[in-house]
Amino acid sequence: MPSSSNFAVSEPFNKGIDEFNQEAFYACHDTLEAIWMTAETAEKPFYQGILQIAVAFYHLGNLNWRGGAILLGEGISRLRRFEPAYRGIGVEQLVDQAVEWLTLVQTAGPEGLADLMAEPPLPMPQILWVPDLETTEPDGTAAD
């Protein structure tokens, strides 16, 4: 959890990040979807991007190559405008990790996904709290 008072971190958001980092990807999706549904329009892509990456890993764990690849790409795309950080989390780090995984998934293809997931060459992505990084607003400008 961020130590900075620059952002108000809700308990559900903190829970969703913890679920993601514990690889409880389906639970993370449920938690963040509830936040996404009530979020302000400008913030919706932030929450949706994280939950899409979570669901991508849920699909990959179930050897659904197509669902995993598509959702990784969509989640990456939605989160890019929030780099380097937003709401106290390192968006840039998450995007970089997801891009590495998307490359692995695309290289493995549907026929190699089982081997990739049985012995992944990289750890699963982790969402990092980075309260001291400059936060980006949804329109790409630096926050005050």
> For residue 76, is pLDDT > 60?
yes
Given this model, what pLDDT does residue 3 score?
A: 35
Query: Which domains are present in the chain?
Result: 11-118 (1.10.3450.10)
In the structure encoding, which two tokens stand for residue 43, read together? Answer: 């913030």
Own/partner pairs for 25-30, CB < 8 Å, 24+ apart? 25/54, 25/55, 25/57, 25/58, 25/61, 26/54, 26/55, 26/58, 28/54, 29/54, 29/55, 29/58
Contact residues for 76 (Cβ-Cβ < 8 A; gap 6+):
49, 53, 95, 98, 99, 102
The helix/strand/coil state of 133 is coil
Mean of the pLDDT values across residues 31-40?
94
Confidence tier at 10 by pLDDT (50, 70, 90): confident
Q: Whole-prediction pTM value?
A: 0.86
* pLDDT digits 0-9 by tens, 86-111: 999 999 999 999 999 999 999 999 99
User: Looking only at Cα atoms, what is the longest distance across the chain?
Assistant: 48
| pLDDT value of position 132 | 63
pLDDT for 30 beyond 70: yes
Residue 65 amino acid letter: W
Residue 143 pLDDT more than 70? Answer: no
